[in-house]
Amino acid sequence: MTNQLSHRSRYWTLLGTIITQFALGSVYTWSLFNAQLAGKLSEPVSRVAFSFGIMSLALAVASSMAGKMQERFGVRKVTLGAGILLGASLVLTAHATNIWLLYIFAGLLIGFADGTGYLMTLSNCVKFFPERKGVISACAIGAYGLGSLGFKFINMYFLEHNGLESTFDYWGIIAMVMVVIGGLMMKDAPKQRVSATESAADVRDFSLSQSMKCPQFWMLALVFLTVCMSGLYVIGVAKDIGQGYVHLSLDVAAAGVAIIAVANLGGRLVLGVLSDKIVRTKVIAIALVVCLVGVCALLFAHQSMLSFYIAVACIAFSFGGTITVFPSLVSDFFGLNNLTKNYGIIYLGFGIGSFIGSIVASIFGGFIATFYLMFGLLIVSLIIALTIKLPQLPRSSLV
C-alpha cells in the first residue's frame, strides 16, 4: 500500500509540476508588452525592457532561496504562495503609473514569484524520478517553455480585444489559478538513500559548502551564466532586435517570439531526452555550438528575415536545452539530496546573465556589444564543457 501511495504521489507531483511550470513560463511573452508599456509610461523601449532583466535577476535570487523555503514550509505551501504572489503582481503591473513601479511590480515581484516556484518544483519532481532525470526535466521544463507559446496566443488575444491593463489582469488570474491547482497536487520528494547495489562511498552527496569549494562548481556556473545571458537577452528583446537591428516589419519581427517559443521547447525536449542517453557534458557542448551558430548569424551573416529567424531559433534552442539538462548535470556532479541548494546558487547566473546583457547594451547603446560578449563567453564555455571532469568525493563521503 505504501509503495502504491508513493507511486501515485510521484505521478500526481509530476502532473502538478507540469501545470505549474506551464503557468510560470508565461513570463517569456514579456517582449509583447514592451512597446505598449513604453507608450503608456512615456518611456523609451530600452528602459521598459530593462524590467525583464530585473525580473530575471529576481527570479534567480528567489530560486537560490527556494530550497530553504521548501525545508521550512514544504513544496505545496511554497508553491501556493508563489502562485498567489504571481497573480497579484501581474494585476499590480497593470496599474503601474511610472517606470519605478513597473520595475517593482513586473521586475522584482513577478520575478520573485516565478523563481520561487520554478526551481523548487522542478528539483522536487526530479528527485521523485532519479532513474529518469533527463526525461522528467524535459517534461517539466518543456511545460515551462510551452507556457511561453501558449500564453503568447492568450496574451495576444487579450491585447487585441481588451487592452493592456485588462490583459495583465486576466493573465494574472489564469496563471494564479494554474499554479495553485498544480501546487495542491504536489508532495515533497523523499530523501535519496544508498541503494543495495552501491556503497556509501559511491554516492555523490555534496553539501552546498562542499560543492562551492570545487572548481567544477564555478566552471559550471560560468557555462550556465553564458547560455542564460545569451538566451534571456535575445528572448527579452527579440521583437526589438528584429525591428531595430535587422530592420524587419513589426509583424515579421513579432513572429520571432513564436519561433523562439517553439525552438525553446524543442531544445528542452530534444536535449533533455538526449541527456539520458549520452554524457551530459557532451549535451551541453552541443547546446553551446548551436548557440554559437545563432550568435554568428547575428554578428557575421547578412541580416535578413531568414538570418534573424535562424539566429533566434538557435539561441532559444540552446537556452531551453541547457536549462533542462543543467539540474541533472549538477546532480551528476554533486548529488541529488542538495540539488535545490547547489543548483540554486548556480541558477543565480540566470538573472545575473540577463542583467549583464541589458547593462552592456545600455552602456554601449545597442545590441552588437552584447552579441560580441556572448560570442567570447561561448568560446570559453565550450572549452569548459569539453574538458571538465567530475570532482573528487568529499572526505566525509569516503569515511
Domain with CATH 1.20.1250.20 in the chain: 7-185, 208-387
> Quick one: pLDDT at residue 183?
95
> Quick one: pLDDT at residue 199?
47
> Quick one: pLDDT at residue 144?
85
Q: Other C-beta atoms within 10 Å of 218: how many?
A: 15
Q: Other C-beta atoms within 10 Å of 36: how many?
A: 15
Cα separation of 173 and 178, whole Å? 9
What global pTM score does this model have?
Answer: 0.78
Q: Which fold has domain 208-387?
A: Growth Hormone; Chain: A; (1.20.1250)
Q: Which three cell numbers stand for residue 233?
A: 537577452
> Quick one: pLDDT at residue 398?
47
CATH class of 7-185: mainly alpha
Over the chain, what HEC string results?
A: CHHHHHHHHHHHHHHHHHHHHHHHHHHHHHHHCHHHHHHHHCCCHHHHHHHHHHHHHHHHHHHHHHHHHHHHHCHHHHHHHHHHHHHHHHHHHHCCCCHHHHHHHHHHHHHHHHHHHHHHHHHHHHHHCHHHHHHHHHHHHHHHHHHHHHHHHHHHHHHHHHCHHHHHHHHHHHHHHHHHHHHHCCCCCCCCCCCCCCCHHHCCCCCHHHHHCCHHHHHHHHHHHHHHHHHHHHHHCHHHHHHHCCCCCHHHHHHHHHHHHHHHHHHHHHHHHHCCCCCHHHHHHHHHHHHHHHHHHHHCCCCCHHHHHHHHHHHHHHHHHHHHHHHHHHHHHHCCCCHHHHHHHHCHHHHHHHHHHHHHHHHHCCCHHHHHHHHHHHHHHHHHHHHCCCCCCCHHHHC
Residue 294 and residue 244 in contact, taking contact as beta carbons nearer than 8 Å: no
As a residue count, the chain comes to 399
Residue 52's nearest CA partner among 372, 375, 354, 386 is: 354
Q: How far apart are the first and last CA of the chain?
A: 36
- Residue 128 CA, chain-centre distance (Å), reads 21
Mean pLDDT, consecutive 10-residue segments, the chain of 399 residues?
64 94 91 87 85 84 86 92 96 92 94 91 87 83 83 91 92 96 91 54 76 94 94 81 80 82 85 89 96 94 88 93 91 86 87 80 83 94 95 65
Residue 220 and residue 333 in contact, taking contact as beta carbons nearer than 8 Å: yes
> Quick one: pLDDT at residue 246?
82
Indicate the burial class of 244 (C-beta count within 10 angstroms; 0-12, 13-18, 19 or more): middle
> Quick one: pLDDT at residue 192?
65
